[in-house]
Amino acid sequence: MAPAVEITEEEISLEQMMQRARSSQAGAVVSFLGTVRNDGIEWMEVEAFRDLALSELEAIRQEAMSRFSLQAAEVAHRTGNLAVGEAIVAIVCSAAHREDAFSGCRYILEQLKSRAPLWKKEISAEGGRWVEGE
């Protein structure tokens, strides 16, 4: 079984995350997949303070589970050099009702962006630029 929070250099399988979140008690399974967008960059470098990031992601996941009555929640975040179109982050939440699943997914994403020690650097022909809060 995959961990509920993961930081990896490997591709993320959103389909597998969604399968694990399904249950007979879940009326909603919501997913978010963040990708490297083509806004003039060639690629993106993603770094993490791994142990602290894993700990913070788990704390955020637990908060969301409790606050939104989630039945399942998983977070996977990539590190390394990512090409345009590649996945950076995936979040899957399931709950009895859709509003809780949507709210839980949004909460995890927003908290991840503000609290987890993860950094993105956009690389273009002009050089590199660290990205804040995106």
Q: Name which of 78, 108, 112, 113 is nearest 92 in CA terms.
A: 108
Taking only the tens of pLDDT, the chain with its 134 residues reads 678 999 999 999 999 999 999 999 999 999 999 999 998 999 999 999 999 999 999 999 999 999 999 999 999 999 999 999 999 999 999 999 999 999 999 999 999 999 999 999 999 888 888 887 66
| Tokens 């090409």 belong to residue | 83
* Residue for token pair 């950094």: 119
Domains and CATH numbers, the chain: 5-123 (3.90.1170.40)
Taking the C-alpha atoms of residue 34 and residue 109, their distance in angstroms, rounded to an integer, is 10
CA–CA gap between residue 51 and residue 48 (Å, rounded): 9
Instruction: At 65, list the tokens.
Output: 């589970």
Contacts of 62 (CB under 8 A, 6+ apart): none
Q: What helix, strand, coil percent values describe the chain, rounded to 5?
A: 35, 40, 30
Beta-carbon neighbour count of residue 6 at 10 Å?
17
Q: At 4, phi and psi to the nearest 5?
A: -70, -30
